[in-house]
Every structure is written in structure tokens, then in C-alpha cells.
Amino acid sequence: MSIEARLAELGITLPDAPAPVANYVGFVQTGNLVHVSGQISQNESGPIRGKLGADLSVEQGAEAARRCAISLLSQVKKACGGDLGRVVRLVKLTGFVNSTPDFTDQPKVINGASDFMVEVLGDKGRHARAAVSSNSLPLGVAVEIDAIFEIA
């Protein structure tokens, strides 16, 4: 099943790739790798803000991470000229979780993105990963994730 068909089956329409808000680009391709800049947690209503361990539950954080993953796919789709069929695999995710000093469930939060990628990409979505804590993220968002994809 194609990635686009799988997204449709799940009822997900990828938004346009978010535009950078500073002096950087949304992605850089070098060889067959696409490095996607950090995508913040946001939905149709705007940024998903909050701090894990204070304002948000692990489940809310995982949903915020899932929204980052949707934006990551939007960026790689743009990098592929609109053809997600060019995605060979997701190589790595690095997830940053806005959390209190005593919060230790960063991996459970970033699972929201990891699980989504495997759900959509199948085995192509299995990846290396880091899940780290941050005492603050841009705009006060809950999660930011960057990624490396291999494309054909």
C-alpha cells in the first residue's frame, strides 16, 4: 500500500509544509538523505503548548509528538516534489520534550511520533531515535522533533 493510500485510510490529510520562522530552511537534501528541520507541535488551532510533568499528560504529549510527525511527513513530501513514493525509509528521529526537571517519560511522549511513522510507513518507518528533555522550547510548545529520511 502506498504512503498516500495509507494516510487516506487513516483519514489524514497532510497540511502544507510549515514555513520556517527564522533564518533556516525546512529541509536540506544531501545525496539521498533529507534532513528535516525541527517541527513543533501544532494543529489546526495553532501551537500545542505546555510542559510535560506540569500542564500536560503523557497522552497529550504523545498526541503533540504525533502532530510533529505529520509536519515531518509534510516536509519530506515537499522535498520529494510531492511524491511520498520516493521515501525509502525514515532513518532517525530526535525528539525534544518540554518538561519539568523530574519528568522521565520522554520516550513515551516521543512514541507518539514513532508509532505514527510505523503506522503510516510500515517497516520503512522503523528508525533510530533520541528522546530528550528540554526546560523550554520555541513558543512554549510541548514537543519539537527533527528527522532524517532516505529517499530515492
Query: Tens digits of per-residue pLDDT, 61-87?
Result: 999 999 999 999 999 999 999 999 999
Mean pLDDT of the chain: 97
Residue type, 58: V
Rg of the chain over Cα atoms, rounded to whole angstroms, equals: 15
Query: Which of 65, 60, 114, 55 shows the shortest CA–CA distance to 90?
Result: 114
Q: Could you give the 3-state DSSP secondary structure of residue 81? A: coil
Query: Which of 102, 131, 97 shows the shortest CA–CA distance to 114?
Result: 131
Can you give the pTM of this predicted structure? 0.96
pLDDT of residue 116: 98
Q: Which domains does the chain have, with CATH numbers?
A: 32-151 (3.30.1330.40)
Average pLDDT over residues 124-139: 97
Average pLDDT over residues 5-21: 93
Average pLDDT over residues 97-114: 98
Contacts of 152 (CB under 8 A, 6+ apart): 32, 86, 87, 88
Question: Residue 122 gets which letter from DSSP?
Answer: G
Question: Are the C-beta atoms of residues 120 and 70 closer than 8 Å to each other?
Answer: no
Cα(130)–Cα(77) distance, integer angstroms: 23
